[in-house]
Amino acid sequence: MTDRKHTTHDPKRAKAAETKAGRKAAEQAGEAAESQAGEATEAQIAEAAAQSIADELAVVSRERDEYLDHLRRLKAEFDNYRKRVQRDNEELRLRAAETVVESLLPVMDNLSRALEAGDQHEEGQLLAGLGLVADQLRGTLAGHGLEAIEVEPGTMFDPEYHEAIVAQPSEEYDEGAVTQVLERGYLLHGKLLRPAKVIVAR
């Protein structure tokens, strides 16, 4: 005789199994939804990060372009300034030379007159006239800041203002003293323009 207890359909048990299966399916669906949501969130984070990097790169690129443009403008301004300074210095040099030359023209005129008069006058008068011209020339150059370096035989040699051409034995002067001035030296506005060329005792 067959045991009908085991073969008889149990509605409660079947319903419980269905409920359990439904619950499991719901859990699996929830997990799948969470997994998809997690993947979507990671993709959104990655996209946002990429967008942030792109924005920062755009800002940096814009700042770089602004700096480069500013640097180019500064370079152009500096080049223009340098050229303007060179031009101004050249104009200043030419004006200074023009002033000096113009002031020497009367000296040249007087020298020409003295030489022309030398054919008609005695030698002494010619020398006197040339002496006046020389004095006028010295005065003109002094007006432009030229000053002669005072050095006479017996003056001690000063390498700052003197240039020793040769050293010779001397019974008259002490060692290191100037024995002869070969070429006068000059200062221009207090600055050495040309040292005096001298012979020194040894």
Return the pLDDT at 5.
Answer: 47
What's domain 147-202's architecture?
Roll (2.30)
Q: Band of the pLDDT at 199, cuts 50, 70, 90? A: very high
Please state the rounded mean pLDDT for residues 24-40. Answer: 62
Please state the rounded mean pLDDT for residues 142-157. Answer: 90
Where along the chain do its domains lie?
12-144, 147-202
Return the pLDDT at 37.
Answer: 58
pTM over 0.85: no
Percent of the chain with pLDDT over 70: 77
Render pLDDT for 180-191 as a digit per residue (tens, 0 to 9).
Answer: 999 999 998 889
Instruction: Return the closest-CA partner of residue 199 out of 176, 173, 181, 172.
Output: 181
Backbone angles phi, psi at 14, to 5 degrees: -65, -40
Q: Which amino acid does the sequence have at 90?
A: E
Q: Band of the pLDDT at 112, cuts 50, 70, 90? A: confident
Instruction: Return the closest-CA partner of residue 140 out of 165, 174, 182, 110.
Output: 110
Return the pLDDT at 132.
Answer: 85
Return the pLDDT at 169.
Answer: 92
Tell me if residue 17 falls in helix, strand or coil. Answer: helix
- Plot region of 160 (φ>0 → left; ψ -120 to 50 → alpha; else → beta): alpha
**Residue whose token pair is 């006197």:** 128
**Rounded-to-5 percentages of helix, strand, coil across the chain:** 65, 15, 20
Render pLDDT for 47-97 as a digit per residue (tens, 0 to 9).
Answer: 888 888 988 899 999 999 999 999 999 999 999 999 999 999 988 888 887
